[in-house]
Chain A
Amino acid sequence: MKPEKNNVANILLVCAAVLVALSLVIYALTRQPKSYGSTFFAMGTYINATVYGAEIENELKNAVDACENEMSHRIPTSAVALINDGESVKVSDRLDGVLKTVLKLRDETDGAFDVCVLDLTSLWDFDSGLHNVPSASDIEKALALAEKCGISENGGMWSGSGVDLGSVGKGAACDACAEVLRENGASGIVAVGGSIACVGEKPSGKWNVAVRDPFGKDSVDALVTLSLGECFVSTSGSYEKSFVADGVTYHHILSTSTGYPAAGDIVSVTVICSQGALSDALSTAFFLLGEEKSLALAKEYSAQALFVRADGTVFATSGLKGVISADGDTEIVYASDS
């Protein structure tokens, strides 16, 4: 064998070895942390989680179950059910925080947003699928009870209409799930029905959250997509839980002044903020308040909001500039910064 040829072969071999080493380095740098997907049923909906860095499905299930077992008025042993029965109950820090949030929001919206509406929501009972329109006199009685609702100084003693935390429960469950992820040093995205927790950083960039198209042929059609960091997202839409009776469409977001589904030209409101229960509550409150009145509250809570109008246009707070991506057919109007 000639020495020159042997040298060339040696050089080729070394180059190939270096190439393999470099490839391994690139592979290690581009490789994402292992993700764990889990799906389970709770709170009358599906919970879908993608978690990076920890396998914590059972912990997430336990967190959501704990929320439901404490906050659902349908569970006779829950704290909320006991409160509605007039008992004095020691509540968890989470429920205490939720109650404080909704009571504050009740005051700030002059009662437009209210959770003391169990008599009213029970009358309509959208979850039952019976599709009954209550009588005007029954609605009047339920509204009168809601007005009398109050909480005592030592907490827990409600009077008047019972408490229905349906407008914040899924958001509160998102808070609980986010806590589980943080405790385990994980990042991820958890969807509790239409409420979403984006926790930590996504390994490959931003969290992409699609906003359902209220006018879409299918319920999986997206109107716009939001590119987000760590946050919570909730949407209230009139297309959910609705029925038609005598040619009239009735949806589940009830006006506390009329007792009937809220009227207006808004079809859905999506809120992005730093807490799950708050994002859930604000999305309902903004739906009821309308665009103009919502802007001041959004500013107070450092929240961003996206309103889908009946004509298909989108009105969004200025903080969502550069966050929303949509196809060319969707017209987006941003609020001024003032």
Chain B
Amino acid sequence: MRLTAKADAAVVLAAIAVIILINAFTGGEGGKAVIVSADGRTEVYYTTLTEKTEYSFVTESGTVVVAVDSEGAYFVSSPCRDKICVKSGRVDSAGECAACVPCHVYIYIESSGEGADGMTG
């Protein structure tokens, strides 16, 4: 192997090592994972979105709208009677959740090892 080829190989190997180490300590993901379960279907969104995005979920009880933005997620609207889900506010920390029980829609911030793994109450 020529000298420059050996030096190039060393640089490439060092770069690979750096990437492996970054992945080891960051998990290789960006943003929080927002899990939305609607009538048994589960979708995953990431809060790396810079703008608020609204997602509509058609359920047997009607259409439920959930917004995901750079900080978390919240219920925008629901056909349920008491609107407890809309009043729940934003979930933005790992382990936090909110649900529209009548429409069977649930939003949850996945735990990344930090923050809460679940909430009682």
Contacts and interface: CB of A to CB of B under 8 A. Distances in A.
Interface of A: 1, 5-6, 9-10, 12-13, 15-17, 19-20, 22-24, 26-27, 30-32, 37-41, 44-46, 48, 50, 129, 189, 191, 194-196, 198, 202, 204-205, 207-212, 214, 217-222, 225, 233-235, 237, 240, 268, 270
Contacts of A44: 101
Interface string B14-31: 101110110111000000
A268 B121 contact: yes
Given A1-B2, A129-B81, A27 B95 contact: no
B68 interface: no
A1 B111 CA distance: 55
A20 B10 CA distance: 10
Contact of A31 (B2, B11, B17, B24): B24
28 contacts: A6-B6, A9-B6, A12-B7, A16-B11, A17-B13, A20-B17, A26-B21, A27-B21, A39-B37, A46-B37, A46-B97, A46-B99, A48-B106, A50-B111, A191-B120, A196-B120, A202-B117, A208-B111, A211-B121, A212-B119, A217-B89, A218-B90, A219-B84, A219-B88, A220-B89, A222-B96, A234-B120, A237-B121
Contact of A23 (B11, B17, B111): B17
Given A16-B13, A19-B14, A225-B116, 18 more contacts: A19-B17, A23-B18, A24-B20, A27-B21, A39-B106, A41-B101, A48-B118, A50-B111, A129-B81, A207-B117, A209-B117, A209-B118, A210-B119, A211-B121, A220-B88, A220-B90, A235-B120, A237-B121
A311 B101 CA distance: 30
Contact of B21 (A13, A23, A207): A23
A16 B98 CA distance: 49
B76 interface: no
Nearest to B112: A204
A27 B35 contact: no
A10 B6 contact: yes
Interface residues of B, number: 50
Nearest to B6: A9
Contact of A27 (B12, B20, B88, B91): B20
A267 to B, nearest CB: 10
B82 interface: yes
A30 B99 CA distance: 34
Contacts of B83: none
B17 A16 contact: yes
B71 to A, nearest CB: 13
Contacts of A39: 35, 37, 42, 106, 108
Interface string B29-56: 0000001010010100000000000000
Contacts of A10: 6
Contacts of A32: 113
Contacts of A234: 120
B24 A208 contact: no
B17 A22 contact: yes
